[in-house]
Amino acid sequence: MITISFSAADGFAMTAKEAAAIDLTEPCGFSADELSAGLRGELVPLAADFVAAEAKYGVNAVFLAALAAHESGWGRHCFLPENIFGWGGKSFASKSECIAFVASRLAEKYLAEDGKCFHGRTLSGVNRSYNGSDEWTSAIAGIMAKISQKAEKAAAVFPAEAPFAEAAFCFENEENFTEKSCSAEPAQQFYEEITEDENPWKCSSGSSPASTASGQYDLP
């Protein structure tokens, strides 16, 4: 198995094939705000936790987020309290605690050369003791690719020096946009840049986002 290593200076978009071959101890290169643009559902506000776990334990944040997305439907379904990874029959006080715990165990058991489940630092290496199904490797690689591609587009639209937390604007997931403390006009610009859709907003009232003071907009 060939392991691909990317520069961590900037976040990078991956294909599923590239995601399956990367060294999972390499940092993803995305800031928390950039990563959040690639996430959906309940995982969006956890972007900083994935990035913090990457920094502390050396486990790629895009991989961590993709694993959580796969195991919990983007954080919506926890079979035990706050356990977005379905890990070890454990309950957690918060999803943030769960992310830190799972990252530490992956680093210790699956990605360290002396770990008892170590078979290499790629998805297929982790999979040998983690799941064992070829479908798992393909699924995680596909989600990693989607996350990284959206995050890279966000990074290009809003460079690191820009206030991205404000620019991420209020996206809760791919299906809905809820206006909170930001204006709809820059949010529309953001969504157009990410999706290359010049007319993304479908307001149920028929009004434009910029003319609507608050409310929810359905994305195509």
Cα(53)–Cα(126) distance, integer angstroms: 18
For 63, the token pair is: 């991989």
For 27, the token pair is: 């940092």
Q: Is 8 left (phi over 0), alpha (psi -120 to 50) or beta?
A: alpha
Where exactly are the structural domains of the chain? 16-152, 169-218
Cα(41)–Cα(63) distance, integer angstroms: 17
Q: Which amino acid is at 63?
A: F
- One pLDDT digit (tens) per residue for the chain, 220 residues: 433 333 334 567 899 999 999 999 999 999 999 999 999 999 999 999 999 999 999 999 999 999 999 999 999 999 899 999 999 889 999 999 999 999 999 999 999 999 999 999 999 999 999 998 889 999 999 999 999 999 998 877 654 444 444 344 444 333 444 433 344 445 555 555 555 544 443 333 333 333 222 333 333 3
For 18, the token pair is: 């590239």
Q: Which amino acid is at 1?
A: M
Position 180 scores a pLDDT of: 39
Position 118 scores a pLDDT of: 97
Position 81 scores a pLDDT of: 95
Report domain 16-152's class.
mainly alpha
The answer to whether 14 touches 143, Cβ cutoff 8 Å, is no
pTM to 2 decimals?
0.71
Position 123 scores a pLDDT of: 96
For 160, the token pair is: 């690191």
Position 161 scores a pLDDT of: 42
The answer to whether 34 touches 155, Cβ cutoff 8 Å, is yes
For 50-103, what is each residue's pLDDT tens digit? 999 999 999 999 999 999 999 999 999 998 999 999 998 899 999 999 999 999
